[in-house]
């Protein structure tokens, strides 16, 4: 059994009855946001000296197969979902990749079964990049808006470049998993979320880089992010126009994968529409 609680939150969690591993796994307060056979997500509020602190708690339970163990070994992270995401969050922070604040995590793993949890702090004032793009950059745009959009494209490209350069593959790198907040002084804060499937590898990872870039390409609204914006993204991501010329095959693979994602998305939407009838 393993348990880790970030020092700034220990006292607050203890005051709310969360101290031992079993306390976290049996906690039934807060609001259930998602309940699946193997995973539950709760939004919880803890009274503190400065008002309320809001957290999200993910709990996982399930069997551990030899394949799961092998995947964990190859990814470089633990095999329980809660501890793995805790490790990924800390690894992202170490490499300068903006993401969530990890509050606490724990696991109880046997040979064939695992149960774990992860608590993260709520992101106040953030929204998904997908929604932000759709609402803030409605054509026609002023010169100021165009300049802002170009700066944002560069920042997202730098995050992707840093992430891949450090050996991480997100594997769900859609705009809805990047969150943005505009501070009072106008500065942007970006956070990469949904790190459950992230892995870390130095070799045999081209397909995952292609998938990440294709997911971002697919999810960027076409009426907002133009072909020129996408070219600027590639220039910043690859470091120069010259590097684009040397990576034409990668770009072709990204375009091809984007088409596959689009076809899959159309099928999913058709199935959902058929079920509603």
CA distances from 50 to 6, 54, 145 (A): 18, 12, 37
The tens digit of pLDDT for each residue in 81-109 reads 999 999 999 999 999 999 999 999 999 98
CA distances from 104 to 3, 77, 248 (A): 8, 17, 43
The kind and range of the H/E element at 127 are strand 127-128
Tokens of 28: 């039934």
- Quickly tell me which residue has 């949904």 as its tokens: 194
List all residues 6 or more positions away from 87 whose beta carbon is below 8 Å from its beta carbon: 77, 78
> What is the pLDDT confidence band of residue 72, given thresholds at 50, 70 and 90?
low
> What is the pLDDT confidence band of residue 246, given thresholds at 50, 70 and 90?
very high
The answer, yes or no, to whether the previous bond of 108 is cis (omega within 30 of 0) is: no
- 207/55 Cα distance (integer angstroms): 34
The tens digit of pLDDT for each residue in 186-234 reads 899 999 999 989 999 877 789 999 999 999 999 999 999 999 999 999 9
pLDDT at 208: 95
Q: Which residue, 128, 114, 27, is CA-closest to 63?
A: 114
Q: Which residue, 87, 83, 81, 120, is CA-closest to 102?
A: 120
Answer yes or no: are the C-beta atoms of 115 and 206 closer than 8 Å.
Answer: no
Please report the domains of the chain, with CATH numbers, ordered by start residue.
2-121 (3.30.200), 127-276 (1.10.510.10)
Q: Helix or strand or coil: residue 231?
A: helix
Q: Helix or strand or coil: residue 263?
A: helix
- 255/74 Cα distance (integer angstroms): 28
How is residue 191 annotated by DSSP? E
**pTM for this predicted structure:** 0.91
How is residue 10 annotated by DSSP? H
């Amino acid at each position: 059994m393993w348990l880790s609680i970030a020092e700034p939150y220990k006292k607050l969690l203890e005051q709310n009855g969360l101290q031992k591993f079993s306390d976290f796994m049996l906690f039934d307060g807060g609001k259930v946001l998602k309940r699946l056979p193997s995973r539950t997500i709760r939004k919880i509020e803890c009274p503190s000296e400065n008002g309320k602190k809001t957290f999200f708690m993910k709990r996982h339970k399930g069997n551990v197969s030899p394949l799961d163990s092998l995947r964990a070994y190859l990814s470089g992270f633990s095999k329980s979902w809660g501890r793995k995401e805790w490790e990924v969050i800390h690894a992202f922070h170490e490499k300068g990749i903006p993401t969530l604040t990890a509050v606490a995590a724990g696991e109880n793993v046997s040979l064939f079964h695992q149960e774990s949890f992860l608590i993260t702090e709520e992101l106040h004032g953030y929204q998904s990049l997908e929604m932000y793009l759709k609402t803030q950059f409605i054509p026609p745009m002023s010169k100021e808006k165009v300049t802002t959009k170009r700066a944002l494209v560069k920042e997202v490209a730098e995050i992707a470049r840093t992430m891949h350069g450090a050996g991480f593959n997100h594997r769900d790198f859609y705009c809805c998993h990047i969150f943005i907040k505009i501070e009072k002084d106008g500065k942007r804060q970006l956070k990469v979320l949904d790190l459950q499937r992230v892995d870390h590898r130095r070799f045999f990872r081209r397909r995952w880089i292609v998938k990440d870039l294709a997911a971002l390409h697919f999810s960027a609204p076409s009426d907002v992010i133009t072909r020129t914006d996408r070219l600027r993204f590639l220039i910043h991501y690859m470091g120069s126009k010259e590097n684009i010329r040397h990576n034409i095959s990668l770009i072709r693979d990204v375009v091809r994968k984007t088409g596959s994602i689009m076809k899959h998305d159309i099928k999913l939407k058709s199935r959902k529409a058929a079920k509603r009838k």
